[in-house]
A and B are shown apart, each in its own frame.
Chain A
Amino acid sequence: MNTIREIPTDIITDTVKGLFLTASSELGEDVLSVIRKAAQSEDTELGKYALEKILENAKVAKDDSLPLCQDTGLAVVFVEVGQDVHVTGGDFNEAVQEGVRRAYTDGFLRKSVCDPITRANTGDNTPAVIHTEIVLGNTIRFIAMPKGGGSENMSSSVMLLPSSGLEGIRKHIIDMVRTAGPNPCPPIIVGVGIGGSIEKSALLAKRALSRRVGEPNLLDTRLSELEREALVEINNLGIGPQGYGGKTTALAVHVEMMPCHIASLPVTVNIQCHVARHKEAVI
């Protein structure tokens, strides 16, 4: 058994703030390396040009500490709290929100959160969407994912017929990407959540996007195969970087799955643009 560890809320706030600041201006090496590869192999002039601009932007953003994209996102935070952690000095959730608030305010990030009806901006990019899970251990793991609105708008949850099977799921993924076309800023990463309940499928899809880009599902070969096949099919659509035409429409397809009700087959397709920001830390 682990000894109980005390973690003060101010460390939580600082950690969250730091993750969002870094995520906003530094594209991960996982994303950069697949884009570099794609820029080498893309056949169309405009597609290649777009991929080169993306790489150039990543360099400028890092060198000048500028946000990679003006849409610095809705702040999504995955947290795994070890069951032997004792949070001290205040409210855990508020500590996370404060980290987001400080990152977006002190770091000159865009405040993109508003009242759904009046559209009045909340002014500090809170509330963040926090998904907390209790796990074994005495540490806390944070994954910060600033999620852009343009690609989120091209996502959806559906209840397929259970008889649809793998074939129906694959067809649904391709249809979603085809319909989205240039809108979500391709090359995209496609997060897919299969099974669970409707909200769990959405959570699985979002979680799939937090994986290192291009890393296959290691738990289920049916899913890694689906990822591979769907990626090939998506890249045959011709949409290409920014929709300018080419074979780089998606950089990866990530699928997560869990069992579901005998009457249902929930599937969520969550689309992520090429500015696939996710940073993690363990405290």
Chain B
Amino acid sequence: MKNPIKIHTPVTRDICEELRTGDRVLLSGSIITGRDTAHKRLCKLIAEGSDLPVKLDGETIFYAAPTPPGPGRIIGSIGPTTSYRMDEYAPVLMRSGLIGMIGKGKRSAEVRAAIMKYKTVYFGAMGGIAALMSGCVKKADIIAYEDLGPESIMRLEIEDFPLIVINDTRGGDLYEDAVGCHGMVP
């Protein structure tokens, strides 16, 4: 297995063009979190032409809602939620400057086309290893939509966050490759 590629945020369009489906990545730097309702709200503001509570230009978003931090902890357990629920909104956010998306599971044809068009990237984070991933978070602050509780938008400082490229700028899809290569269709 190839060694993981170390990347520091901001993830740029040039970096995205170098990444290939199946590449393992260790991401460090600053990212934001946001999922269902936060996406809905951001897209409503974009449609109205209003200011956003967070600038999306060059940003990477993690579809995640962590558990609350216990005493003395920076954050609780954290991991990805299933990404397809954000498919309706992702192309709008990419048009507004978003470059990286971190989640798990399949994306729609529209999202995959937008990834190619805007030269962005969809990283997969592993689902169900949230205690392990918690250790990669060095700082966590709520920056918007505090009323959403666990679903609020947070800014995270991360170190060596283990990811894998699912959809790249060339239209590659790790999940399709997996079934194509390893499936034994009767």
Contacts and interface: CB of A to CB of B under 8 A. Distances in A.
B164 A273 contact: no
A274 to B, nearest CB: 6
Contact of A70 (B66, B179, B181): B66
Contacts of A184: 82
Interface stretch (B10-18, B49-57, B88-96, B121-129): B121-129
Contacts of B164: 46, 244
Interface residues of B, number: 48
Interface in B74-132: 76-79, 81-82, 84, 104-106, 124, 126-132
Contacts of A185: 104, 127-128
A181 B182 CA distance: 13
B64 interface: yes
Given A56-B132, A108-B68, A69 B127 contact: yes
Contacts of B79: 69-71
B178 interface: yes
Interface in A113-135: 119, 121, 123
Contacts, number: 158
Given A70-B77, A108-B70, A110-B66, A245 B178 contact: yes
Given A53-B126, A57-B130, A69-B128, A182 B104 contact: yes
Contacts of A54: 126, 128-129
Given A61-B77, A185-B128, A238-B183, A46 B69 contact: no
B141 interface: no
Contact of B1 (A46, A121, A149, A242): A46
Nearest to A25: B131
Contacts of A123: 149
Contacts of A237: 179, 183-184
A72 B70 CA distance: 14
A183 B67 contact: no
Nearest to B82: A150
A114 B120 CA distance: 33
Contacts of B135: 60
Contacts of A110: 65-68, 76, 150
A242 B124 contact: yes
Best-surrounded residue of A65, A243, A246 (most CB of chain B within 10 A)? A243
Contacts of A119: 36-37
Q: List the 6 shortest-distance A-B pairs measured between CB atoms, nearest first.
A: A238-B183, A245-B178, A238-B182, A185-B127, A61-B131, A57-B129
